[in-house]
Amino acid sequence: MSELLKQLAICVEKGKATKDSPYPPDLKDQDGTSEITIQLLENGCTPNEILKEGLMVGMQTIGDRFSAGKAYIPELLIAAKAMNASMEHLKPYFDNGDVKHKGTMIIGTVTGDLHDIGKNLVRMVLEGDGWKVIDLGTDVDSEKYIAALEENPGAGVGMSALLTTTMINMKTIASDIKEKYPNTKIYIGGAPVTSEYNDSIGCDGYFVDPYGLAKHLSQGL
């Protein structure tokens, strides 16, 4: 069982989703995350064990490589896709309550911004880390965030922006959310965003990459 979990972590790190996946070349014709997850479940491994000892280990490894400048966005994306191929088999266990989510995060790209690669990566990483993620999409205004918070009391909020012209909308949205739900934790990210900007608009954290956010959330929303 432990060897399968190790192989699952390697497949996540290298982005091997299925046996038919041509990438990476050194794992050609070997089982990917999808097949290994099925084997683990059939052999009595719990979804929590698969999540914590396989998926999260692989994502942590690729996340550490990215933080050290030894991996890049395309590698993060294929790793996240490989992880999600495994998560497809685990989602029924979350849905029926056998596995509990760590909490709920509401995410979106802010008003006027249609970029979603970074936001999508955050969603995949957080889901792989055991969070329920409500993805509001792009061009998300205050009303959409607040409506989602009304339906999901106690959830955290994540905002993304890729442009300096749309980044400024984070301030308005954060202010509107805090006015109605002052205890809501709001986290921001995106190419032009900085920790100084985060502090200036009263948000609760800025993260360069989704792994930093996941690690922070795991310490308590």
Distance between CA atoms of residues 45 and 6, nearest Å = 13
Instruction: Give ranges for CATH 1.10.1240.10 in the chain.
Output: 2-95
* More confidently predicted of 120 and 221: 120
- Please determine, for residue 146, whether its predicted confidence score (pLDDT) is greater than 90: yes
User: What is the per-residue pLDDT for 70?
Assistant: 92
Percent residues over pLDDT 70 in the chain = 100
User: What is the per-residue pLDDT for 56?
Assistant: 87
Mean pLDDT over residues 14-33, rounded?
94
The rounded mean pLDDT for the chain is 93
User: What is the per-residue pLDDT for 66?
Assistant: 85
Helix locations, 47-194, DSSP H: 47-50, 56-67, 73-95, 117-128, 142-151, 164-167, 169-180
The tens digit of pLDDT for each residue in 81-116 reads 999 899 999 989 888 877 888 999 999 999 999 999
- Please determine, for residue 168, whether its predicted confidence score (pLDDT) is greater than 80: yes
Angle subtended at Cα 118 by Cα 182 and Cα 12, rounded to the nearest 5 degrees = 115
Mean pLDDT over residues 179-184, rounded?
97
Instruction: Give ranges for CATH 3.40.50.280 in the chain.
Output: 104-218
pLDDT band for 34, please (50, 70, 90 cuts). Answer: very high
- Three-class HEC string of 3-70: HHHHHHHHHHHHCCCCCCCCCCHHHCCCCCHHHHHHHHHHCCCCHHHHHHHHHHHHHHHHHHHHHCCC
Of 18-32, 77-91, 116-130, 157-171, highest mean pLDDT = 157-171
User: What is the per-residue pLDDT for 174?
Assistant: 98
Percent residues over pLDDT 90 in the chain = 71
Name the CATH superfamily housing domain 104-218.
Answer: Cobalamin-binding domain (3.40.50.280)
User: What is the per-residue pLDDT for 163?
Assistant: 95
- Please determine, for residue 128, whether its predicted confidence score (pLDDT) is greater than 90: no
Name the CATH superfamily housing domain 2-95.
Answer: Methionine synthase domain (1.10.1240.10)
User: What is the per-residue pLDDT for 221?
Assistant: 64
User: What is the per-residue pLDDT for 60?
Assistant: 86
pTM score: 0.84
